[in-house]
């Protein structure tokens, strides 16, 4: 596993895309570490990647305990059940999967600090994906004003699992449109300046459509 080499190639690709398309946005690499262990995460941190994302509560808790001495910014990027909020919410720096009021209620109940959240949006319309219908996002975010422990820092989505550039970019562009609508509301609790979109197979398109954070797994950990 050539993590350092893979990271160098990834950084080069990102900078090439930005230069070619005159993009000034700072792109944060979030390492999706679902399939790797503590030693690989330490290698990432030593290489300058401090944003680490986990999908499952139990895996997050194990890695969190073993890596407390590391300068990690912890993200939870999987769907979070309300009955597991109390286990992880005060250990997180960012939650990428706020998608229903019942979850917001539980976060507000359990959190001892303000939680930076991405509202998850199902821009592709696929039934097997989590997230709000795009048409529900504005009213959902307006309703979050009553929850003082939630700050909406951005939106998150996943594109279709396919290779059609037009379809993928259309999905990402939809999230960008929603973000602009949220920003125009000028809500103190929902600045919504970030877009969490793009993974190993489609981050190129996500950057072109305005992503500020890409969730990368296999590209970092391939042999």
Alpha-carbon gap, residue 223 to 213, rounded angstroms: 24
CB of 221 within 8 A of CB of 40?
yes
Q: What's the Cα-to-Cα distance from 174 to each of 61, 96, 130, rounded to whole Å?
A: 34, 18, 16
84-122 confidence digits (pLDDT tens): 999 999 999 999 999 999 999 999 999 999 999 999 999
Alpha-carbon gap, residue 195 to 27, rounded angstroms: 10
Three-class DSSP category at 211: coil
Token pair listed for 63: 């890695």
> Is residue 121 packed enough to be buried (19+ CB in 10 Å), middle (13-18) or exposed (0-12)?
buried
pLDDT at 1 over 80: no
Alpha-carbon gap, residue 169 to 206, rounded angstroms: 7
Domains along the chain? Answer: 3-221 (3.20.20.10)
24-59 confidence digits (pLDDT tens): 999 999 999 999 999 999 999 999 999 999 999 999
Q: pLDDT class for 223, splitting at 50, 70, 90?
A: low
Q: pLDDT class for 200, splitting at 50, 70, 90?
A: very high
Three-class DSSP category at 46: helix
């Amino acid at each position: 596993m050539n993590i350092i080499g893979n990271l160098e190639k990834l950084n080069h690709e990102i900078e090439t895309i930005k230069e070619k398309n005159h993009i000034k946005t700072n792109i944060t690499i979030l390492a999706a570490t679902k399939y790797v262990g503590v030693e690989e995460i330490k290698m990432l941190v030593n290489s300058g990647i401090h944003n680490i994302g986990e999908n499952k509560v139990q895996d997050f808790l194990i890695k969190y305990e073993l890596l407390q001495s590391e300068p990690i910014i912890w993200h939870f990027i999987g769907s979070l059940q309300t009955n597991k909020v109390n286990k992880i919410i005060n250990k997180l720096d960012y939650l990428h999967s706020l998608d229903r009021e019942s979850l917001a209620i539980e976060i507000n109940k359990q959190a001892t600090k303000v939680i930076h959240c991405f509202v998850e949006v199902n821009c592709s319309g696929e039934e097997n994906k989590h997230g709000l219908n795009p048409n529900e996002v504005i009213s959902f975010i307006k309703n979050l004003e009553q929850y003082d422990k939630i700050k909406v820092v951005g939106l998150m989505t996943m594109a279709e699992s396919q290779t059609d550039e037009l379809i993928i970019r259309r999905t990402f562009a939809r999230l960008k449109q929603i973000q602009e609508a949220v920003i125009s509301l000028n809500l103190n609790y929902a600045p919504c300046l970030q877009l969490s979109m793009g993974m190993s197979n489609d981050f190129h398109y996500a950057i072109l459509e305005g992503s500020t954070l890409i969730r990368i797994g296999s590209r970092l950990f391939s042999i």
